[in-house]
Amino acid sequence: MDGQILDSSGSRSQSSTTEAMASLLLSGWAMMSETCDECPDVPLMRSRAGVFKCCRCNKERRSGVPEPPSGSTKDVSSGVAADGHKYRIVDECGLDSRLVDDIHGADGDKVLCKQVASGHCSRRAPVEGRRLQQLCLLRVELTKSVDRYTTMLHHINEGGSLDPHGDSQLLDSLERALRLLDMVDSMI
């Protein structure tokens, strides 16, 4: 087979399942760790209203708490289903748009320089709650950016670059991401 999954009718359904999941995600649904009883390789989707839906068989159930998978055994020591997942989505949190806009906006370097010059980047009292979550999410995004920039630099070094202007922009972007990452680390 070429990696696509056949549904019970024998037709190829991986792309339609993926498209259905993508459209639900874009419309605000969440992907859960639980899977459908009939489609064990497809994660359930949950709406904000608490409706669970399988994107392959279109089976829906309305429940505040997802039903445990049939045939799962409970582990007495941890209270977690042996073949299930122990992580559950409990809440969603948004990012503080002012913090993200300040850093990712056109004046991101100026904002960073002002904070460094005024001493705002010094070690503070521990950050808690939602702000800590936002800083951790921002740290993850900055780490991804640093990884992406270093991968691009690696490819430039391997193949030899003919564009010094592009290379300098890449190095500037990497330096900026590293400074921002250092600033976020000092705040956490």
pLDDT band at 129 (very low <50, low <70, confident <90, very high): confident
For residue 173, the model assigns a pLDDT of 86
Q: pLDDT (tens digit, 9 = 90+) per residue, 29-85?
A: 888 888 888 888 888 899 888 889 998 888 888 865 544 444 444 444 444 444 455
For residue 116, the model assigns a pLDDT of 45
pLDDT band at 100 (very low <50, low <70, confident <90, very high): low
Q: If you average pLDDT over residues 99-103, what whole number do you get?
A: 60
- The amino acid present at 145, given as its one-letter code, is S
Mean pLDDT score of the chain, rounded to an integer? 71
> Which of 79-83, 105-109, 133-137 has the weakest average pLDDT?
79-83
Q: How far is CA 129 from CA 47, 135, 136, 186, in A?
A: 25, 10, 11, 17
CB atoms within 10 A of CB 45: 21
For residue 4, the model assigns a pLDDT of 45
On the question of pLDDT at 154 being above 80, the answer is yes
DSSP secondary structure letter of residue 52:
E
Sheet architecture: strand order including 43-46: 30-35, 43-46, 51-53, 60-62
- The amino acid present at 3, given as its one-letter code, is G
Signed CA dihedral, 142, 147, 148, 152: sign only = positive
Question: Which residues have CB under 8 Å from 28's CB, separation 6+?
Answer: 47, 48
For residue 82, the model assigns a pLDDT of 47
pTM of the shown model: 0.33
For residue 84, the model assigns a pLDDT of 53
**In 3-state terms, what secondary structure has residue 81?**
strand
